[in-house]
Structure 1
Amino acid sequence: MGEVTWRDVTVVWARPSDLQGFTETDVAAMGQGQFDRFRQLTGSRAQGFLAGRALIRELVRRIRHSDEVRLSSRCARCGADHGRPRSAGVSLSVSHAEGLVVVAATAGSILLGVDVERAAADTRLDGLRPMFPDGRAPDLAAWTRIESAVKADGRGFEIEPSDVLLQASDHDADPRVWSALLPGRLKPLDVTTLVGPPGYVLSVAVG
C-alpha cells in the first residue's frame, strides 16, 4: 500500500490482489447497501470493490478513531447503491485503474475528488479526442485533473469534460496547483497532480 498527503487530504492506493484479507463479511459490516452492491459484481470488479472498501475502512478508522465504519453510497438520482461512498464526518472519493484502486479521504465535509490512470494508457488518450472536438484534447495528467474536478463537483456525467477549464491558480503560489472552472459553479476547485504510484498518473481536487 502507498500513501501521500496533500493539504489535509490523505490518498492511499493498493493493488486489489494485495488486500486479500478483506472479505464480504467485512463489507456487510459497513452496511446492507454495500453488501448488496458487492453481490452484484463479479471477477476483477468485485475484487476492486473489496479493495476500495478495505482502504476506505482503514482511512475512516484512522480519521474518526473508531473501529465501526458504516457507509452509504445511495445514488441521489435513482436510489441504487452505486453512488460515491459517504461516511459521517469524513469526505471520500475512490478511483480505479487497471490493477490499482485509490482512495482519498479527509475529515469534515468538503468537495473531494480523486482520479487515477495508467501512465501507459495510450488507447485511453485515443478515446478522449472525440470528447474535445476543438482539438485541445488533454494529456493524461490534465485528464485526471479534469476527472477529479468533476468527481469533486458531484454532477458527474452531467458535465461535459470539454467544458472544464483548467488554468493557473490565482490564489496559490504553488505552480502545481490548478484552478478548475466548471459550468454552473461560481467558485473554482483546486486541483493538483501528485507523485503517486509508479506507472500511474494521479490527481486530486478539493473545494
Structure 2
Amino acid sequence: MGEITWRDVTVAWARPSDPHGFTETDAAAMGQGQIDRLRQLSGSRAQSFLAGRALIRALVRRIRGSDEVLLFSRCARCGAEHGRPRSAGVSLSVSHAEDLVVVAASAGSIELGVDVEEEAAAGRVEGLGPMFPDGRAPDLGAWTRIEAAVKADGRGFEIDPSEVILQPHADESEPCVWSAVVPGRLRPLEVTTLGGPPGYVVSVAVG
C-alpha cells in the first residue's frame, strides 16, 4: 500500500492480492448496495472490489474523522450498484489495473477523477491510434490523463477520448500539470501524472 498527495487530493493504492483484512462484513457495513455489488463479483474482481473499498474506508475515515462510512454507488442511468462511489462530504474516484486498485479522495465536493494503467499496457494504447484524428495514439501517460479527465467530468463513455485536448498549464511553475479541454465543458480540468507504484502510471484530474 502507498499514497501520494497532490494539492488537496490524496491518492492511495493497494494490491488486491495482498492481505488487507477487509471482508464481506465490512462491505455490508458501508451499505446494502456495496454487498449487493460484491455478490455480483467473483475471484480477482471480488478481491479488487474489497481492496478498493478498504482504501475508501480508510481515506473517508481520515478525512471526516468518523468511523462510520456509508457508501452509495447506484448508477444514475440503469440503477445498478456499479456507479461512481459517493460518500457525504468527500469526493471519490476509483481505478483498477491488473493487481492494483487506486483511490483518489478529497474533502468537500469537487470534480475528481483518477486513472491507472499498467506499463505493460502501452502496446494496447498504441493500438488506439485509428480513433485519433492524426492516427497517432497518445503515450501511456497522456492516455491516463485523458481517462482521468473524462472520469472527473462525470459523463464517462458519453465523451469521445479522442476529442479531449491536453494543453500545457498556463502557470509555468507547474510544468507537470496539464489543462484538459473536454468537449461540452466551459472550463478545462487540471490533470497531472503522479509518481505512483513501480510498473504503473497514475494520473489524477480535478475541476
Unaligned runs of 5+ residues in structure 2 are none
| Residue 79 (1) aligns with residue 79 (2) | yes
Query: Could you tell me how far apart the structure 2 residues matched to 1:177 and 1:126 are?
Result: 23
Q: What is the aligned residue count?
A: 207
Cα-Cα RMSD? 1.1
Residue 80 of structure 1 deviates from its aligned partner by 1.1
1:90 maps to amino acid = V
Q: Secondary structure at the match of 1:16?
A: coil
| 1:6-65 deviations in Å (ceiling 9; x for gaps) | 000000001012244100000000000110000000111111000000000000000000
List aligned pairs for 1:1-207, cutoff 5 A. Answer: 1-171=1-171, 173-207=173-207
| 1:70-93 deviations in Å (ceiling 9; x for gaps) | 000011111111100000000000
Q: Secondary structure at the match of 1:146?
A: helix
30-39 or 18-27, larger mean C-alpha shift: 18-27
Query: Could you tell me how far apart the structure 1 residues matched to 2:89 and 2:50 are?
Result: 22
TM-score of the superposition, structure 2-length normalised?
A: 0.97
Kindly indicate whether the alpha-carbon contact (under 8 Å) linking 1:19 and 1:54 is maintained by their aligned counterparts in 2.
Answer: no
| 1:134-187 deviations in Å (ceiling 9; x for gaps) | 223100000000000000000000000001000011246301000000000010
Query: Could you tell me how far apart the structure 1 residues matched to 2:37 and 2:172 are?
Result: 40
1:100 maps to amino acid = L
Q: Secondary structure at the match of 2:128?
A: helix
TM-score of the superposition, structure 1-length normalised?
A: 0.97
Residue 127 of structure 1 deviates from its aligned partner by 3.7
Kindly indicate whether the alpha-carbon contact (under 8 Å) linking 2:176 and 2:193 is maintained by their aligned counterparts in 1.
Answer: yes
Identity fraction in percent: 79
Unaligned runs of 5+ residues in structure 1 are none
Kindly indicate whether the alpha-carbon contact (under 8 Å) linking 2:22 and 2:54 is maintained by their aligned counterparts in 1.
Answer: yes
Q: Secondary structure at the match of 2:120?
A: coil
Moved runs in structure 1, 4+ residues, more than 4 A? none
Residue 120 of structure 1 deviates from its aligned partner by 2.0
Query: Could you tell me how far apart the structure 2 residues matched to 1:19 and 1:103 are?
Result: 17
